Amino acid sequence: MGKSYIPIIDFESCSLAKEECSHEELTRIGKQLVEGFSQVGFVYLKNYGFKDAYIQELNQVTETFFKNPVNEKMRYERQGNSAFGYIEMEKENPTMDPNIPCDYKEAFNINGESFARDNSEWPDDIAPGFSEGILDFMTRSQKLSLRILHALAIGMGLKDEYTFYKYHNKMHTKESYTTAKTLYYPPIVRELKPGQVRHGEHADLGTITLVFQDKVGGLQIKGKDGTFIDATPIEDTVVVNVGDILQYWTNGKLKSTVHRVVAKADERGGKSTRRSLAYFTMANNDALINKPLVYKDESLNVKDGEPISEMTVEEWILGKMKQFWDVTKNDQNTSES
């Protein structure tokens, strides 16, 4: 497998430190993205514009929130199916399997509408700088996502290289489910339930996801043979993976790969605290996920055939969310009985 099963792409020529990058570099990097996303569904980007120190500083701010007493954190609990708010321990089951326990983790979700939220809705009183740090992170991540998608569109040979821009021009509004998530995996102080892990097996729903790991590790992706492979943290890199929507758009050419997070023993044989930040890039709610992309090479275009029923991104997301909530509620009822 060489040094890494997951390809490492040097993004320096299109880094966020640059206002613009050349079409030549976008093409070169885009082709590398296509190859990595086709073969593995995941890539590492290095020299992309953030430094680990920036992520570590933000993790320290969010960890201040997570270290508060539960009753304080619950003041900011996510309400109903909202994409904003605190998610307490063992309240999410991404596997969609009612026989598998909820995850051993806590989280705080922040959606695009959060830019317009009142200060009172943010936990800045118990975690100073939380809202400022997260909103800055989301602004940077949006810019990085769009640059990645621009390179990808060129590398794929789309007839309109701005296709993905147009499909994502409502991010950070109520017209998109684009979401940031700060995740906190506390030390494991008891035996895990049978089948329970830090973050259960799942594939992401959106277009692409940016994952900023700390040094602890635990992220694993499912290989073609069904075994799980470590996505070992690499200094100053971001992990980028394909989501289901991008897999739909490309008729399965780009892979939305199953992944999970497991507990890793630290040097003392215990289980360390793990922190990560994720940015889920979602297309506009009204974008069609089953509308074929149009390529410069007409031989790659989907030929007209039987009409297909249209499905929007919002319909896809809401359908999956309902399934997720139904499974999670059943799991919680079982745990409490």
Kind plus residue range of the DSSP H or E element containing 23: helix 23-39
* Predicted local confidence at residue 63, as pLDDT: 96
- Confidence (pLDDT) at 110: 96
Residue 323 has pLDDT above 60, yes or no: yes
* 234-243, 263-272, 297-306: which is most confident: 234-243
Q: What is the pLDDT of residues 170-226, one digit of tens each?
A: 999 999 999 999 999 998 888 889 999 999 999 999 999 999 999 988 999 999 899
Distance CA 113, CA 8 (A): 33
Mean of the pLDDT values across residues 46-53?
A: 94
Residue 268 has pLDDT above 90, yes or no: no
- What percentage of the chain has pLDDT greater than the value 90? 71
| Whole-number Å distance between alpha carbons of 179 and 280 | 5
**Is pLDDT at 80 greater than 90 in this prediction?**
no
Residue extents of the structural domains in the chain: 8-336
| Cα Rg, the chain, nearest whole Å | 20
Q: What is the pLDDT of residues 20-30, one digit of tens each?
A: 899 999 999 99
pLDDT value for 304? 64
What tokens were used for 48? Answer: 């992309």
> What pLDDT is attached to residue 265?
64
Residues 92-118: tens digit of each pLDDT:
998 888 889 999 999 999 998 898 888
Mode of pairing for the β-strands spanning 8-10 and 42-46 = parallel
Residue environment code for 154-190, b if the CB has 16+ CB neighbours within 10 A, otherwise e:
bbbbbeebebbeebbebbbeebbbbbbbbbbbbeeee
Report whether pLDDT(326) > 70: no
Question: What is the C-alpha to C-alpha distance for residues 287 and 313, in angstroms, rounded to an integer?
Answer: 6
Architecture in CATH of 8-336: Sandwich (2.60)
Whether the predicted pLDDT of 306 surpasses 80: no
